[in-house]
A = this chain, B = another copy of it.
Amino acid sequence: MSQAKSEFEAYFRCTDQSCGKTYSLNEVIYTCENDGELLTVEHDLERLKKYSPQYWKDLFEARFRSQKFPYSSGVWGKREWVLPEIEDENIVTSGEGGTHLYSADRWARDLGLGGLYVKQCGISHTGSFKDLGMTVLVSQVKQMIAKGVPIRAVACASTGDTSAALASYAAKAGIPALIFLPANKVSTAQLIQPVANGAKVLALETDFDGCMQIVKEVTKEKSIYLANSMNSLRIEGQKTISVEITQQLGWEVPDWIVIPGGNLGNVSALGMGFEMMKDLGLIDRLPRILLAQAANASPLYSSYKTGFSEFNPVVAKKTLASAIQIGDPVSVKKAIRVLKKFDGVVEIATEEELSDAAAKGDRYGLYNDPHTGVALAAMLKCKEQGTIGKGQKVVVISTANGLKFTEFKVNYHEGKIMGTNTELANRIIPCKADIDSVLSILKS
């Protein structure tokens, strides 16, 4: 199978349809020069359509199992749909993508579902789905540097997974990374991944929004490249998750995809992946999307309740699902468009519900982070209400590794999260070290 890379083309385009100005992916630019709107990466679909759906399926299948560089990466196995003009020597990969689609078969049977799958995006190089997008961004930066664009470093404002992914991929490439975070609001433990990966980590005397202002200011200079989610290159990597899930189900579209939502870039990417597959004929229908928000940070849920006729940002309250504690999501317009197209539903989970759902899943062999807990709780509620029907096939996207959330797990099982289901809390049982004492406990 030939790669025929130069056959295909992608570019930045202004997200405002009435403008539509385009830019090369080699430009250091994040918003439109005309109107300041965000950019999106657009592919020349006519060129991609010259190949049959079966061609793409065969190509993706052959690469999925391949050890040949760079196809051990699930993202780069779809390179023509992602960054068609990337050159092999500039690809910075840590084997992202290709994560396991965990079949929670026993749970599915108990719930009366036709299948319950958890897409394990957190079992990845830096422990979150952010790897999918960061391999694309850092590879593109490496290529720009190779072509003479004077980039000295990559930068982001972040308190968690984004900084971990950026620092790791930048370290692999040998490109300096800058991380801006609010002082005294993040523990060393939360920031230890980028610290370990040698990023320059600055703790600023401000809040997250203040950090975001500083990173925008710093990256105006163009020699420091902005890696926050307003950079749409990351979406290109993230959208491959839709192709992977479908591929892992034997090119069958599930009835439902459940995804947690905060800033809403994630659900936009999910939608784009499915739309691209449909446009190119790989699938003939779209799944329904269930977008799950923490009740404490649920502006999209309120909007959904009005039929998306209005959207009002809120001040997010504290939630255990800290990565989606966002009241004014950047990608809300894209997300609403996707949800309308995918016959979407928005559901919320309280702190108790997300904690219980995470714990319930753990009893079936998973090890869920709180964000996956939000998605699982929404799934359970929609099943209970009948929105998700008996016998349907459901895929839940797990966005991060439970190992990053030890405190959440310990607090739950020690009964420190108020209002949760005490039957799911498990305790360590103290016992004397003699066989009779042990046997009497085992009998009880």
Contacts and interface: CB of A to CB of B under 8 A. Distances in A.
Query: Which of the four size classes fits the interface of chain A?
Result: 35 or more
Interface stretch (A20-28, A199-207, A264-272, A388-396): A199-207
B72 A61 contact: no
A217 B61 contact: no
Contact of A197 (B101, B106, B363, B429): B363
B101 A72 contact: yes
Interface stretch (A185-193, A255-263, A293-301): A185-193
Contacts of A432: 204-205
Given A101-B72, A250-B67, A367 B204 contact: no
A351 to B, nearest CB: 17
Nearest to A437: B204
Interface string A60-74: 011011111100100
A214 B178 contact: no
Nearest to A194: B426
A406 B214 contact: no
A172 interface: yes
Interface stretch (A35-43, A276-284, A310-318, A409-417): A409-417
A169 interface: yes
B367 A193 contact: yes
Contact of A364 (B64, B171, B181, B366): B171
B106 A95 contact: no
**Oligomeric state, in copies:** 2
Q: Which of A201, A214, A429 has the most CB of B within 10 A?
A: A214
A206 B433 contact: yes
Contact of A172 (B181, B364, B426): B364
A202 B403 contact: no
A31 interface: no
A204 to B, nearest CB: 4
A57 interface: no
Nearest to A100: B95
Interface string A104-138: 00100000000000001001111100000000000
A431 B205 contact: yes
Contacts of A218: 435, 438-439, 442
Q: Which of A68, A196, A198, A204 has the most CB of B within 10 A?
A: A196
A170 to B, nearest CB: 8
Contacts of A248: 67, 72
Contact of A413 (B94, B196, B211, B359): B196
Q: Which of A64, A125, A403, A427 has the most CB of B within 10 A?
A: A403
A201 B168 contact: no
Interface in A399-432: 401-404, 406, 409-410, 412-414, 426-432
Contacts of A211: 433
Interface of A: 61-62, 64-69, 72, 94-95, 98, 100-103, 106, 120, 123-127, 168-174, 178, 180-181, 183, 188-189, 191-193, 195-206, 210-211, 214, 217-218, 247-250, 359, 362-367, 401-404, 406, 409-410, 412-414, 426-433, 435, 438-439, 441-442
22 contacts: A65-B65, A67-B247, A67-B249, A72-B248, A94-B100, A98-B98, A123-B125, A173-B365, A188-B413, A192-B406, A196-B362, A196-B426, A197-B362, A199-B426, A201-B426, A201-B427, A202-B428, A202-B429, A202-B438, A202-B441, A203-B430, A403-B403
Given A65-B66, A127-B401, 17 more contacts: A62-B65, A65-B65, A69-B103, A94-B365, A95-B102, A123-B124, A169-B365, A181-B428, A192-B409, A196-B412, A196-B426, A198-B362, A201-B429, A214-B433, A218-B435, A401-B403, A406-B406
